[in-house]
A and B are shown apart, each in its own frame.
Chain A
Amino acid sequence: MEVFLPIAEVSVNIIAIFSLSGIVGILSGLFGVGGGFLMTPFLIFLGVPPTYAVANEANNILATSVSGSTTHYLKNTLDYKMGLMIVVGGIFGTLLGIWTFTYFKGIGKIDIVISLAYMYILAIIGTAMLVEGLGEIDKARKKITTKKKLHVHYWIHGLPLRMRFPKSKLYESAFTPIIIGLMVGFIAAIMGIGGAFILVPAMIYIIGMPTRLIPGTSLFVTIFVSVIVTFLHAFNYGSIDLILVFMLVLGSIVGVQVGQKLGESVDSAGLKTLLAILLLLVGIAIAYDTFFAEQMINEVIKIDKNNLNPLSMFIKKLSEDMPILYGLFSIIFALTLGVAAAFIRRFFSNMRKKYYKKTN
């Protein structure tokens, strides 16, 4: 069942997109990561050019992070002050990232830069997770328990402009979250990911935030970063394809809810090892795609633009004639879907609680 994407100008299989975004959503729900670093390579494998895969996955991340952040807002597990500090760095990082993206696009090397960046990020995270996961399994087998230090001090904590973060109960330099935000924004702009896989460990080990505030704050930051990435990609390159975004958002929102439910009842060390192997396999698949299969990508068949259906024609014309309006529309579209998903989840959660109360 193929559908033509008017902006990316390629045909993709609807079932493949739905199932892959659903599977990535489940993994996101299980491990508390955005999943962008898996979904963008999958889109590239499905034939979506890397430039479009990055932009559309950023828009998808916007919807899922709005959905997750709204849930955390309703539970009051969000540190706005810390989040806004990270966002300040994130804005500069994103602008720097888009500038770098423009430079590589200008010299015609952007596709290989994206592929190589993915390959290395997946290899680094995969290797680190595999070593950590196997270590945890080994310790569990030998029944070894180790005490971890509560807070380690690095050079970054000695920076000036110290301030209080009452919700996280911290007193530290504003530059710590700003520098972290800068790195996350830069990577998000180039790779079309939320950056949670950098942000979450940085919040735990460098900033030292309480664990219960981390997922909500990380998602809150991701909203701002992905809004800027989405808007700049839509405005500069007209690369947001609303049909693709719609399919991605639906699949991942459903997947995230399933993943969060599954995560309550499975062993994390074993799963971490499995995810690490999956990341390494995706990394090697990208390596194969980049080093040996370049010819195949170039041979993707393009459909005549004049034979588009009315909806595709409308999306294409809107993107070309009014890029600012189109960018804003794609942001509002993702925000609406994200908030709606959070409220639907709350509605069903309340209904289930009422049902259990009645039966007990």
Chain B
Amino acid sequence: MTNLIKNLPTEIKKNKLKTGIFLGLSAYWGIILVGTFLSLN
């Protein structure tokens, strides 16, 4: 776990496309989950 956190910046730099897709998908899911929560309340 410590190794993973330590190497995270280099891994992110190495796989820019993968990081971008991961962040994009996270934002996407965040929007629809928050939207659902707000519309149901």
Residues of A within 8 A of B (CB): 112, 116, 119-120, 123, 127, 130, 134, 280, 283-284, 287, 290-291
Contacts and interface: CB of A to CB of B under 8 A. Distances in A.
A290 B35 contact: yes
Contacts of A134: 18, 21
Given A130-B21, A134-B21, A290 B39 contact: yes
Which 9 pairs of residues, A with B, have the shortest CB-CB distance? A291-B35, A287-B32, A287-B35, A291-B39, A119-B32, A127-B25, A123-B32, A116-B36, A280-B28
10 contacts: A123-B28, A123-B32, A127-B28, A134-B18, A134-B21, A280-B28, A287-B31, A287-B32, A291-B35, A291-B39
A334 to B, nearest CB: 33
A120 B35 CA distance: 12
Contacts of B31: 284, 287
A112 B21 contact: no
A130 B38 CA distance: 27
Contacts of A291: 35, 38-39
A112 B28 contact: no
Nearest to B31: A287
Interface of B: 18, 21, 25, 28-29, 31-32, 35-36, 38-39
A308 B4 CA distance: 68
Contact of A112 (B25, B32, B39): B39
Given A116-B36, A291-B38, 17 more contacts: A112-B39, A120-B32, A123-B28, A123-B29, A127-B25, A130-B25, A134-B18, A280-B28, A283-B28, A283-B32, A284-B28, A284-B31, A284-B32, A287-B31, A287-B35, A291-B35, A291-B39
Contacts of B29: 123, 127
B38 to A, nearest CB: 7
A15 to B, nearest CB: 31
Q: Which of B18, B36, B38 is most buried by chain A, counting CB atoms within 10 A of its CB?
A: B36
A291 to B, nearest CB: 4
Contacts of A127: 25, 28-29
A134 B38 CA distance: 32
Contacts of B18: 134
A283 B31 CA distance: 11
B24 to A, nearest CB: 9
B2 to A, nearest CB: 27
Q: Which of B32, B38, B39 is most buried by chain A, counting CB atoms within 10 A of its CB?
A: B32
A130 B28 CA distance: 13
Contacts of A283: 28, 32
Nearest to B22: A131
